[in-house]
A = this chain, B = another copy of it.
């Protein structure tokens, strides 16, 4: 007898377990486990018999139970900040596709923009996820430390913690900011505005500093660069631009850089829809990210493309999900310079001489 007396499944019908399958197939419960484990030592015909029994009973293995012993849940937590920005939805979609293709489940957490992800992270820890990917949200060093101690890999996507040793992947934001500066300059702009995003995000800061550096090198002075706060969202940028230039408050610059595409679209809508200013004829506009919406009519936004797939793949790779749970940490890996690409569209007009 494969299933010894006293070890039968005692529940009244609900929830078929491996014991039920074992009983039907006339094998031990361990054999059922092996039948569902690729590469386990089990005879082909035994497995076949077990699988048939399982099918008959509509048995579905309980991953939760197995993860108790294997110490792997095959769940990856994704913590999402600014869901209003289509770029992060693009990232999420890509993340989901890749992770699902690997047979991993995604435990999703959304965090209000600017809010700390600490409590989300705390809940994540209870669920024994195999790894955590955090995009667009703040987190405390206490939390990164906690993850590290517990051996849960954490990687930041599209942001980093300066001076801290948390793995992270970012594109070359400052280089991208510089590209925009150069494009504007080549197109003949001399007075500028920039609409900034999350004041605590490294991404926004780096794009800004690259942009400014490019401008300064061309001899543009600070008083020719207006800085506006857009808070990383469409409405923020639209309102900031409208407030800044309504009623001829101040002179409209030659070019405006929206630190991300969503904001650049807000900039354009404020300009064209509220202030009656033409883009690119009166003012040039550029964004950053290359979201689909920005490529459409009537935006046709000149922007810097972030290689989402590459970034996502690198982030997942940094999780090192396939190494053993207790494996030693082979050093920090931070990739902050994934190359970006300038996408010329219609909102920056090149002068003839170019």
Give the B-binding residues of A (Cβ under 8 A). Answer: 14-15, 58, 60-65, 67-68, 73, 75, 78, 83, 86, 89, 92-93, 96-97, 100, 105-110, 120, 122-123, 125-128, 146, 149-151, 234, 269, 272-274, 293, 296-298, 326
Contacts and interface: CB of A to CB of B under 8 A. Distances in A.
A149 B63 CA distance: 19
Of A105, A122, A151, A269, most buried by chain B (CB within 10 Å of CB) is: A105
15 contacts: A58-B146, A60-B122, A64-B64, A75-B107, A75-B127, A83-B93, A96-B109, A96-B110, A97-B110, A106-B108, A269-B297, A272-B297, A272-B298, A273-B296, A273-B298
This chain: how many copies in the complex?
2
A117 B191 CA distance: 53
Nearest to A300: B273
Contact of A64 (B106, B128, B146): B128
Contact of A67 (B61, B64, B78, B149): B64
A74 B106 CA distance: 15
Contacts of A73: 64
A231 to B, nearest CB: 16
Contacts of A326: 14
Contacts of A151: 14
A330 to B, nearest CB: 18
A308 to B, nearest CB: 14
Nearest to A68: B65
A269 B293 contact: no
A279 B83 CA distance: 30
A64 B127 contact: yes
Contacts of A86: 86
Given A105-B107, A107-B75, A110-B100, A126 B298 contact: no
Given A63-B127, A298-B298, 6 more contacts: A14-B326, A64-B68, A64-B127, A105-B107, A272-B297, A293-B293
Q: Which 4 A-B pairs have the closest CB atoms?
A: A273-B297, A63-B126, A96-B110, A108-B108
A328 B127 CA distance: 29
Nearest to A61: B126
A102 to B, nearest CB: 12
A60 B273 contact: no
A261 to B, nearest CB: 13
A93 B110 contact: yes
Contacts of A105: 107, 109, 123, 127
Given A64-B127, A110-B93, A125-B60, A274 B297 contact: yes
Contacts of A128: 62-64
